[in-house]
Amino acid sequence: MARHRDQKEKSREEKGATAAAVTPPILLSPSETAGSPAAESVMLSRLVRGFLWPRRGRGKVRMLVATVLLVVLAIGGCGSANRMFYWPNRQQYNDPAREGVTYENVTFAAEDGTRLHGWFIPAQPGPPRATVIYFHGNAQNLTAHYEFVAWLPREGYNAFIFDYRGYGQSEGQVTREGTFLDSVAALEYIRGRDDVDAGRLLAFGQSLGGACLLAALGETDPRQVRCVALESTFYSYQGVARAHLAASWLTWLLQPLSWWLVTDDHSPSRSLDRMAGVPMLVMHGDADDIVPFSQGRKLFNRAPEPKRFIHVPGGTHCEGTGGYASADRTRYRRQLLDFFDECLDDSP
């Protein structure tokens, strides 16, 4: 009996050691000093990413921890989970110069003085047909998202891509209000360039970037651009949070918390009515597990005319124009270019 008990205890110890070995640590960069607001944001975000949407095999214990964490956030106050929409870093992923592409590093300021960084990539070869301002998604920084628009200059379009505050080389810490100010500033900057025809400006946003784009236009002047193209964008912040809670029976009962944990400030749902008359393209994959397909459909249904929806069968998050299947990617990129061409057509 004693020997059998010893073997069981040894087995439990080995299992515990294995679990510890495969559980990644939560790391803070040197700029994310322990106890600082940045560190708190990073720790909460990474905990929720690891527990609330666990990989297969992580088990019910982690879901229980996620539930407790959500309750703690709820006690923290209204909007305390807004920060979990943002996953910035300052790592360098791509450099167009390595591909022989000419580009310009630019800096500009938001209304509150925060210095922001972007890349202006001219049409190659020129002259440009128009300029596309690109609003990227919630993770990494512009050097990673560059691949989603790297093909546009070869098609005769200038491309302008920028980082929100806290991302890449942009200053500050990311917040919902900050991304709104940064998006407004990016529009003002690109329209003010001497080498850009402000009357031929097109807007393209993916995922969170589409939400930032709609807020920046809908809460200022939508007529700053000829048209808007959105890929894998959600209808509302609260709606997409609720959809994730509804995805598992372990968090299903927590759906009402989404209205307390996440606010809908600067949400697409609040800007769509003001976009009347601006052509809008909505593209979404029906296998998107980040922003549910239903969110894309709802955004499209509530958008005013003129509008167009592109359904990407089997498409995951932002896989229409950025998918790995070259044939499919080429087809959806062609549809995006056709939409741009129609928006630029000045014929009566």
Residue type at position 318: C
Look at 66-80, 117-131, 248-262, 311-325 and tell me which has the smallest mean pLDDT.
66-80
**pLDDT on residue 187:** 98
More confident residue, 319 or 211: 211
Q: Is there a domain that residue 314 lies in?
A: yes
Please name which of 207, 189, 195, 61 lies closest in space to residue 148, comparing C-alpha atoms. 207
Instruction: State how many domains the chain has.
Output: 1
Q: What is the pLDDT of residue 95?
A: 95
pLDDT, average across residues 305-332: 87
At residue 270, the 3 state secondary structure works out as: helix
Lowest mean pLDDT among 57-66, 131-140, 265-274: 57-66
What is the four-CA torsion angle of 284, 87, 237, 296, rounded to 10 degrees?
Answer: 0
Question: Is residue 246 situated within a structural domain?
Answer: no
Express each pLDDT in 14-64 by its tens digit.
Answer: 444 433 333 233 233 333 333 333 443 443 444 344 333 334 444 455 455
The pLDDT, as a whole number, for residue 312 is: 94
pTM for this prediction: 0.78
**Is residue 108 included in any domain, yes or no?**
yes
Least confident of 40-54, 128-142, 304-318: 40-54
**Cβ–Cβ under 8 Å, residues 207 and 232:** yes
Q: How many residues belong to the chain? A: 348
* Residue 250 in domain: no
Task: With respect to residue 75, please indicate whether it lies within any of the assigned structural domains.
Answer: no
φ, ψ of residue 185 to 5 degrees: the values are -65, -35
- Closest C-alpha among 165, 123, 167, 122 to residue 144: 167
Is residue 4 classed as helix, strand or coil in its secondary structure?
helix
CATH number at residue 291: 3.40.50.1820
Distance CA 337, CA 329 (A): 12
The alpha carbon dihedral of 95, 100, 104, 110 has a sign of negative
Q: What is the pLDDT of residue 256?
A: 63
The percentage of residues in the chain with a pLDDT greater than 90, rounded to a whole number, is 62
Q: Give which of 136, 51, 24 is closest to 89, Cα–Cα.
A: 136
Does residue 322 form part of some domain? yes
Residues 276, 202: Cα–Cα separation, whole Å = 16
Check: CB of residue 42 under 8 Å from CB of residue 28. Answer: yes
- Residue 202: closest CA among 179, 184, 229: 229
| Residue 246 pLDDT | 60
Does a cis peptide bond (omega within 30 degrees of 0) precede residue 153?
A: no
Short-list 132, 101, 284, CA closest to 197: 132
> What mean pLDDT is reported for the chain?
80
Checking if the pLDDT of 69 tops 60, the result is no
* Model pLDDT, residue 12: 45
**% of residues, the chain, pLDDT over 70:** 70
Model pLDDT, residue 328: 80
In this prediction, residues 337-344 reach a mean pLDDT of 97
Query: pLDDT at position 5, please?
Result: 46
Per-residue model confidence as pLDDT tens digits over 71-128: 544 444 444 467 778 999 999 999 999 999 999 999 999 999 999 999 999 998 889 9
Select from 272, 269, 251, 271 the least CA-distant residue to 261: 251
- The answer to whether 240 and 275 have CB atoms below 8 angstroms apart is no
C-alpha 43/C-alpha 28 separation (Å) is 8
Identify the pLDDT of residue 329.
85
Q: State the pLDDT at residue 166.
A: 97
Residue 250 has pLDDT above 60, yes or no: no
Residue 148 lies in a domain: yes
| Spatial separation of the C-alpha atoms in residues 219 and 109, rounded to whole Å | 19
In this prediction, residue 264 carries a pLDDT of 87
pLDDT on residue 16: 42
- Rounded distance between C-alpha atoms, residue 56 and residue 62, angstroms: 11
Q: Is residue 260 pLDDT above 90, yes or no?
A: no
The two structure tokens encoding residue 339? 């939409």
Average pLDDT over residues 326-346: 90
Residues 30-39, buried b or exposed e (16+ Cβ, 10 A)? eeeeeeeebe
**Residue 41 counted as domain residue:** no
Could you give the strand order of the β-sheet that contains 227-231, starting from the edge strand earlier in sequence? 104-109, 115-121, 157-162, 130-135, 201-206, 227-231, 280-285, 307-312
Q: Which domain holds residue 200?
A: 92-236+264-344
Given this model, what pLDDT does residue 85 score?
A: 86
